[in-house]
A and B are shown apart, each in its own frame.
Chain A
Amino acid sequence: MQRYIVKRLLTTLPLLVGITLLTFLIMQITPGNPMQTMIDPRISTADLARAQENMGLNDPMIVQYFRWLGEIVSGNLGYTIKTGQSVAQMILDRLPATLLLTVTAFVFSFVVGVPLGVYSATRKYTKRDYGLTVFSFIGISVPSFFFGVALIYLFAVKLNWFPTSGLATINLQGSGWDILVDKAKHLVLPALVMALPNLAVIMRFTRSSMIEVLTNDYIRTAKAKGLSERAVKYRHALRNAIIPVITLFGLSIPTLFGGAYITETIFNWPGMGSLGIQSITSREYPVIMGLNLFTSLLVLFGNLIADILYAVADPKIRLSK
């Protein structure tokens, strides 16, 4: 187990280099120099010209890359062009809102997707299975912005059950409980929009995994020795069927964070996604690149955890490597 984790950590290193290198290269084609954006913009232009030479902006690219990497490691993602704010601080300010949204969507899609997949698999080729199949196809086919807009129209505008946008009602007076309920109400629609495609994929994946497991000999043995249908399905089959589903833990992270861009924009959710869109409109390249780097590192980290979880769950992997 330890050997597996060490090995997995070692394969992460070249990826780290790759991610930072790709970000660095994209920054080279953005207007303005990557080092320039790291200088506090309140410095005068004369000093800047001298600083440019002192900072070695004429050095070879590879030297510049490592110096830039040093800044990243020390937590400096640069400053915004217009207001001179720290990009790292801006991202950290927006992080909690995005995490709240993505984690809710993530949990919801697994908690609902897996049971639906099992249900579908155990009723293979019935009308209900067919219905769920069509539902999962719609789930992966519906554009999130259309689904979001339709939900707002139906549940916020027409039925008035949920608020149309934002993180919470501004200046809400009331007890702590009221504030919590208010937050939850704001969370429902955007989380649903983010969860749907993920939920559909998890459901399909669980279904096919479960169907495959149910054809195994040990399932027949379990049935033959007189175990109840329930025990066979949930104690014997599901345990093995769920293992491949764990790989979706890692795979769904980039999809969810990518979806945050659109969902947060529609719902005016003050997270990293809407920060990204605002930065694109206002051409704040340091922020865009900072977000890119930050999210890809999150994804890398998430994949690492998912792989370790996978090894914990599956002895074949844990012991073979």
Chain B
Amino acid sequence: MGWTTTPEGAAPKSSRSGGEGSMVFQAWRRYKKNKLAVFGLGFMVLLVLISILAPLLAPHDPFSSIKNEAGTLDIMAKPSQEYLLGTDSLGRDVLSRLMYAGRVSLSVGLVSVTISTVLGVLLGALAGYYGKWTDSVIMRVVDVVYCFPVMFLIITVSALLKPSMFNVMIIIGLVSWVGTARLVRGEILRVRELEYVQASKALGVRSFTIIVRHILPNIMAPILVQATLMTADAILTEAALSFLGVGVQQPTPSWGNMLNEAMSIMVLRFKYWIWLYPGLAILLTVLSINFIGDGLRDALDPKLKGRK
């Protein structure tokens, strides 16, 4: 994995020899101690499996209403053996929709965070490494974006575009790179003056090579932690957008748009299964990712511990 490649002249490798002392192994040993992080990892593995296998596992068609033997629709049916978590107001199976919605949340999280991390690392590295006016321009843009409440900005842009899952991914990715950029800039400023970077410069190594081959591997740990925590945020944002009706659109299920039904006081009062389970699904997923992020922070770099 990326962060294990120690460039020449970097911090000395662990003096212990053999697999026991490898960085991944050590990190895993520290990670295992954090029970919450282990729980989070377990839950996420389960969720990924369910999402991939959703077509096989889902007991019913998640996109359309189910007709029962009498030829009528089972609308808002209570949880039963047939519908383990009941059906929604259009008579669709809640459990099947939950499984398919997991796919939406995970893909939005992964794609948007990939976009924001690539952008953030690129702009943060440019600002930190080159300094001067490059730094000033990029950091002023970061400050401006920070002033807009992210939710406002995302809602505005998604209202301008046609709401869809694809647009949600892009928008979240394009708006949420600023935190990563700030982080990477700070880390690069710290590493830039270290001897091994100065040595590479003196040897005439191209700036691009220095950044990509020598600096980035050394600041991978905080970037990875940041990306993990951003995934949790992205999933929350997607759910909120879909809840408000400017995100993922029906009939595609998303935990957010499933919860939207709770806006009807009748559903809220009498049909708890329609809104409770998607809510718990979001909570558990985001919680698990945050636990993982916290565990990674402690495991990858013990020095980071306690740093916010």
Instruction: Report which A residues bind B (CB closer than 8 A).
Output: 14-15, 18-19, 22, 26, 29-30, 134, 137-138, 140-146, 149-150, 152-153, 157, 164, 204-205, 208, 211-212, 254-255, 257-259, 261-262, 265-266, 276-277, 280-281, 283, 285, 288-289, 291-292, 295-296, 299-300, 303
Contact = CB atoms under 8 A, between A and B. Distances in A.
Contact of B159 (A205, A208, A288): A288
25 contacts: A14-B140, A15-B143, A15-B144, A19-B147, A26-B156, A29-B160, A30-B160, A138-B283, A141-B286, A143-B239, A143-B256, A143-B283, A145-B256, A146-B275, A254-B150, A258-B149, A258-B150, A258-B152, A261-B151, A262-B244, A265-B244, A283-B159, A292-B153, A295-B152, A296-B148
A126 to B, nearest CB: 15
Contacts of A138: 283, 287
Q: Which size bracket describes the interface of B in this complex?
A: 35 or more
Contacts of A149: 259, 262, 268, 275, 279
A157 B153 contact: no
B282 interface: yes
Interface of B: 36, 140-141, 143-153, 155-157, 159-160, 232, 236, 239-240, 243-246, 256, 259, 262-263, 265, 268-269, 272, 275, 279, 282-283, 286-287, 290-291, 294, 306-308
Given A141-B232, A145-B259, A262-B244, A150 B152 contact: no
Most chain A beta-carbon contacts within 10 A, residue among B146, B151, B262, B268: B151
Contacts of B159: 280, 283, 288
A261 B246 CA distance: 13
Nearest to B40: A137
Which 6 pairs from chain A and chain B are nearest by CB?
A: A258-B151, A258-B149, A146-B279, A18-B144, A254-B149, A141-B287
A19 B159 CA distance: 19
Given A141-B232, A288-B156, A18 B140 contact: yes
A225 B151 CA distance: 51
A151 to B, nearest CB: 11
Contact of B287 (A137, A150, A255, A285): A137
Contact of B146 (A157, A254, A262, A291): A254
Contacts of A208: 306-308
Contacts, number: 133
B272 A153 contact: yes
